[in-house]
Structure 1
Amino acid sequence: MPIDVESNLLIVDDLPENLLALEALIRGPGRAVYRATSAEEALALLLDHEFALAILDVQMPGMNGFELAELMRGTERTRHIPIIFVTAAGRDSNYAFQGYESGAVDFLYKPLDPHAVTSKVNVFVDLHCHRKALRHEMDALAVANRKQEELVQQLRHTQRELERAVRMRDDFMSMVSHELRTPLNTLYLETQLRQVHVSKGNLESFAADRLPAMIERDQRQIRNMVRLIDDMLDVTRMRRDALSIQPKPVDLAALARAVVEGLKQQAEAAGSAIALEAPRELPGVWDEFRIEQVLTNLLTNALRYGGGKPVEMVLRDLGGTAHITVRDQGIGIAPEDQERIFEQFERTDDSRKHAPGLGLGLYITRKIVCLHDGRIEVESRPGEGSLFHVELPLQAATKTATQVRT
C-alpha cells in the first residue's frame, strides 16, 4: 500500500541569500526545507529532526562543512544521512577526495546549475521515500507475522482444548456408564433374587424382620443414582450459567448436625466415625440446600479417601464469617493436584485407585461456595490426609453463576 512520506531537507550556508536561492531550487510538494547559517545551528536541527538529505556549504566561518560532516558520520542518529557539499572551489581532485573522505556522496559547484541541483536532490529524495516505504512494509510484514503466529498459537490452543473436550466427553460417558451401572446392576440382581424366591414360594426372605434391611439396600442404590444424576444436572446448569442460590435464614450448626447424622451409616460402612465440633447455633443467610451439598460433598470425600480413620468437622463463627473445616487422615493430595481437583471431571491417580466417582463433587462445591461470596482451600500432603477450609459470609448475596468467576 503506497504511503505519503514527507522528506526533510537540511541546507547549511553562512550566507542567508545563498540559503534562499538554494531553497527556491529544492522545495516542492512533500518536502520540508530547514535552513541553518552555521554548523552549530545545523547540529541542533539534526538532533530534533530526521533528514532525507543534508546540503552543506564547505567554506563557513568557525566549523566548516567538512568538519560538520565528520561529526555527523560519528553519530549513530545522523551517520546515514546523505551529504552533498556545495563549494565555490574548482574541481580539484584533492579537494574532492577530502570531501568524500568526510562522508560526502556528491558535490555541487558554484555557481549552481539549477538542473543539476534539482536532479541530484530528486534522486536522494526518491531514495529516502523508497527506504521509508520499504521500512513501512517491513514493519507491516513483521506485525502480520506476529499476528499470524498469535493466530497459529490460538489455533493450537483451541485444538488442544477441543481434543481435551473430546477426551473429557469420552471419559465422562465412560464414567457415567460405569457409575450408573453399579447401582443398577445391584438392584437388578436383587430383583432377580427376589423373583427366584417368589417363584419357589420361599417367602421367608420377605419376612417383616428382613424387609427394613432390604428396603435400606434398595434406597441406598437409588440414592447413589439420584446423586449422580443431580451432580450431572448441576454441572449442566453451571455451563448454562443457570445455577442460582436462594438465600434464607439458616442455622449452619443444626444443618451440620443433620448432615452428620444422615451420613452415619455411610461412615459405619467405611469403618470410620465423624466428629463434629460446632457452637449450639451458627445463624446466617444462605441457600440451605446448596450449603448442605457443600457439607455432604466434603464429608463424603473425607470418608471415601480417609482410609477408615476418624473424620473431623469444625464450625466457627469468626465475626461476620462462618469458617468450616473438614479433616481426614487418608491418602492426601499432592501439591501439584490441589488446584486441579476443583475442576470438573478432574481426579488424582490415587483417588481413582481408592474409589469410583465422576470428579464433580469438589467442582460443584467450589461453585456453590463462590456463589455465596465465599472461598474454599485445601491443605494436604500425600499420605498425611487433607484439611479443607471453607469461609462463608454470614450474609450471602443473591446471584447466579454468570456473576461468578473462579
Structure 2
Amino acid sequence: MTDPSSDANVLLVDDLQENLVALEALIRQPGRRIFTARSGEEALSLMLEHAFALAILDVQMPSMNGFELAELMRGTERTRAIPIVFVSAAGRELNYAFRGYESGAVDFLYKPLDPIAVRSKVSVFVELFRQRQELQAAKSDLQRAVSMRDDFMSMIAHELRNPLNSVYLQAQLRRRMLSSPNAPDSQRMLSMVERDERQIRSMVRLLDDMLDVSRARTGRLAMVPAPFDLAQSTREVVEAIREQATNAGIAITLAAPESLPLVGDEFRIEQVITNLLTNALRYGRGKPVAVAVGLREQEPEAFVSVRDQGMGVAPEDQERIFEQFERAEGTSQVPGLGLGLYIARQIAQAHQGRLEVRSTPGEGAEFVLSLPLPAQQPA
C-alpha cells in the first residue's frame, strides 16, 4: 500500500465538473492525490494549503481565466514554483499557447486530449517533483550534518582547551619552582603531578569516546567476552569514583551480592558503569547516588542500576539522550560531548542487553543496565 505521506499532489482546475471527472479518471493512479477546483479562487486556496507537483488549468473559465490564475501564482512565493499545464478547447488559431507560455506554463494541451500524452506528461512532472523532494531532503540532511560537525568541533575545542590550559599552566609553575633558589616542596609537587594526571586522563577518555563512536558506527566496537564477576566489577568502579564523589560532597551507596558471575567484556561493562556513575555525579545536584546490582526474578538477566536525585530527564528526551551528541534540555552548562550514553547503549546491545532510563522530571533519574545470564546459570 502506498504511504499517503509520500503521495504527489496534482491540482485540476476547470469550471465544468464533467471535465474534472474525466481528467481525474485519466491520470489517477497509486502514489498521487488528485485535488480539484472549479474556480481560480478555490484553486489558490488549495495551493496555499498543499504542495503540488503539477497544476492543470483550463484556460476558459468565468470570473478568473487560466492565464489570470497563472499570473497570480507566479506572484506568490508559495505557488511560484508549481509547474502549470494549460488545457483549452479553443482553436490553435487563437494562439493561446503563446500567451500560456508567456504566463509561465510548461506545456499547453488542446482538447480533445490525447490520453497517452496526458498520462506521460503528468508522470514526468510527478517524477520531477519527487526528485526535487529527495534533493531537498538530502540538502537538509547535509546541512544538519555540517551543523553537527561544526557543533562537534566546537565542543571538542571547548572540552580539550580547559584541561590543556591547566596542564600548560601547571608546567609553567613547576618550571618557575624548579628554577627558584629554594627546592620545591615534594608533597606539593606530587599534588600538582596528580592533578596533571587527572587532566590527561580526562583528555584520553574524550579521545577514547570519539574513537568508540567511530567504531560503533562501522560495527567495529571490539568485544572480548570472558567470565567475570559483575558484582566485583561494580564494586571496583564505585571505589575508583568514590574519591571524586567525596571531594564533591556526594555519598555513593552500593547494594550488591557477594558474587554475580557473567560472561562478557569486563572492560566494556565497567566502561558503561563508569559512564552512568559519572553522569549521576554531574547531574545529581550534589545529592546521594545509589548503585544496585542484582538478578531479576521475572527474567534470566542481571542488572546494574544507578539512581541519582537530580533534575531528571523529560519524557521527550528519554530516547534522544542515547543518540550521538545529544543531551537533555537544561544540561548544556555541564561539560561533555553527549557521546557517553550512545557508546554505553552500543556496548549493552553488543552483549544482547539493554540500557534504559526511568525518570520523572525534578525527581532524579535511574539508568538500568540489563545483561543476559550465561545459558547454564538458572534465572
The TM-score with structure 1 as length reference comes to: 0.61
Quote the offset at 1:145 in angstroms: 4.1
| Aligned residues of 1:286 and 1:394 also touching (Cα < 8 A) | no
Partner of 2:365: 386
| Aligned residues of 1:273 and 1:310 also touching (Cα < 8 A) | yes
Quote the offset at 1:135 in angstroms: 3.8
Q: 1:387 to 1:201 in 2, by over 3 A?
A: same
2-structure distance, mates of 1:276, 1:145:
66
Partner of 2:349: 370
1-structure distance, mates of 2:354, 2:222:
17
| Aligned residues of 2:305 and 2:368 also touching (Cα < 8 A) | yes
Partner of 2:137: 157
Quote the offset at 1:143 in angstroms: 4.4
Residue identity opposite 1:310 in structure 2: P
1-structure distance, mates of 2:201, 2:157:
16
Please say if 1:345 is aligned against 2:325: yes
SS at match of 1:351: coil
Partner of 1:167: 147
Please say if 1:322 is aligned against 2:302: yes
Alignment counterpart, residue 359 of structure 1, candidates 324, 328, 338: 338
2-structure distance, mates of 1:141, 1:315:
67
Partner of 2:158: 178
Equivalent residues, number: 263
Partner of 1:191: 171
Quote the offset at 1:285 in angstroms: 0.7
Quote the offset at 1:211 in angstroms: 4.1
| Aligned residues of 2:178 and 2:184 also touching (Cα < 8 A) | no
| Aligned residues of 1:278 and 1:316 also touching (Cα < 8 A) | yes
Higher Cα Rg, which structure: 1
Q: What residue ranges of structure 2 are gaps of 5+ in the alignment?
A: 1-110
Partner of 1:239: 217
Q: 1:350 to 1:135 in 2, by over 3 A?
A: same
2-structure distance, mates of 1:339, 1:143:
41
Q: Residue deviations 1:46-86, cap 9 Å, x none? A: xxxxxxxxxxxxxxxxxxxxxxxxxxxxxxxxxxxxxxxxx
**How well do the aligned residues superpose, as a CA RMSD in angstroms?**
2.1
SS at match of 1:330: coil
1-structure distance, mates of 2:118, 2:314:
50
Quote the offset at 1:142 in angstroms: 4.4
1-structure distance, mates of 2:120, 2:227:
62
Partner of 1:335: 315
2-structure distance, mates of 1:277, 1:134:
80
Residue identity opposite 2:224 in structure 1: Q
| Aligned residues of 2:262 and 2:374 also touching (Cα < 8 A) | yes
Q: 1:157 to 1:191 in 2, by over 3 A?
A: same
Partner of 1:403: none
1-structure distance, mates of 2:279, 2:191:
25
Quote the offset at 1:237 in angstroms: 1.3
Alignment counterpart, residue 227 of structure 1, candidates 205, 211, 229: 205
Partner of 1:295: 273
Residue identity opposite 1:165 in structure 2: A
Quote the offset at 1:322 in angstroms: 1.0
Quote the offset at 1:320 in angstroms: 2.3
2-structure distance, mates of 1:235, 1:370:
14
Q: 1:196 to 1:212 in 2, by over 3 A?
A: closer
Q: What residue ranges of structure 1 are gaps of 5+ in the alignment?
A: 1-129, 397-406
Q: 1:147 to 1:282 in 2, by over 3 A?
A: farther
Residue identity opposite 1:324 in structure 2: V
Please say if 1:269 is aligned against 2:244: no
Quote the offset at 1:329 in angstroms: 0.5
Quote the offset at 1:140 in angstroms: 4.6
Q: Residue deviations 1:296-347, cap 9 Å, x none? A: 0111000011011011111111252112211101121122111111111112
Partner of 1:285: 263
| Aligned residues of 1:270 and 1:304 also touching (Cα < 8 A) | no
2-structure distance, mates of 1:299, 1:348:
17
Alignment counterpart, residue 307 of structure 1, candidates 281, 285, 288: 285
Q: 1:377 to 1:204 in 2, by over 3 A?
A: same
1-structure distance, mates of 2:213, 2:127:
36
2-structure distance, mates of 1:135, 1:374:
59
Quote the offset at 1:181 in angstroms: 1.1
Residue identity opposite 1:251 in structure 2: D
1-structure distance, mates of 2:212, 2:233:
21
Q: Which runs of 4+ in 1 moved over 6 A?
A: none
2-structure distance, mates of 1:392, 1:138:
61
Quote the offset at 1:373 in angstroms: 1.1
Moved more, 263-272 or 288-297: 263-272
Q: Residue deviations 1:123-143, cap 9 Å, x none? A: xxxxxxx99x94455445444
Partner of 1:27: none
| Aligned residues of 1:250 and 1:283 also touching (Cα < 8 A) | yes
The TM-score with structure 2 as length reference comes to: 0.65
Q: What is the identity percentage for the equivalent residue pairs of Structure 1 and Structure 2?
A: 54
SS at match of 2:331: helix
